[in-house]
Structure 1
């Protein structure tokens, strides 16, 4: 049980830390509008780290089902939804997290399960 909790926490940490690094290093505020090129970069970058977060979750949990990946996806989408409704400014980052990044964390679990 502890391993599964740690796996979900590690997966979420990968997602959050990579996001924080992107915005810190680019000096782009996450709730401000951005150029299309930066949005595309964010989409690709976020997709890679979302898939990685789901893959690492599976590797740590050593689980052959996707239940923990669904939990991670709900956490990612849940926090993004809370931010969507409570934060001001542009909401493109929250929408990316809900529409793309949360589901892609499940894909990471699927990729982990493949031989």
Structure 2
């Protein structure tokens, strides 16, 4: 969504659910470690720890686009999402320290934004 909205000036606000702010290869690496949401991979905590030592080649990186976005953004993450690196994504957003961003953390939300 950030890439698409960066190509137009007619965006009043953006709502994003369960999407990453890290590069595509980091996302894929984390997903592989966590078992692609199958429940058969590493725990989210272990996958996060291993992601911190990721040394692979990066793919598409949304961070430069996110830094330049001026539209208000509402971003949803779930703490039980074992498909994307939620903690790494939230860390990127926190470091940007943007006034136009609000993050909602679903305490037991999964990748499908189910919070029950």
Structure with a larger share of its residues in strand: 2
**TM-score, with structure 1 as normaliser:** 0.35
More helix by share: 1
Provide TM-score, normalisation by structure 2. Answer: 0.35
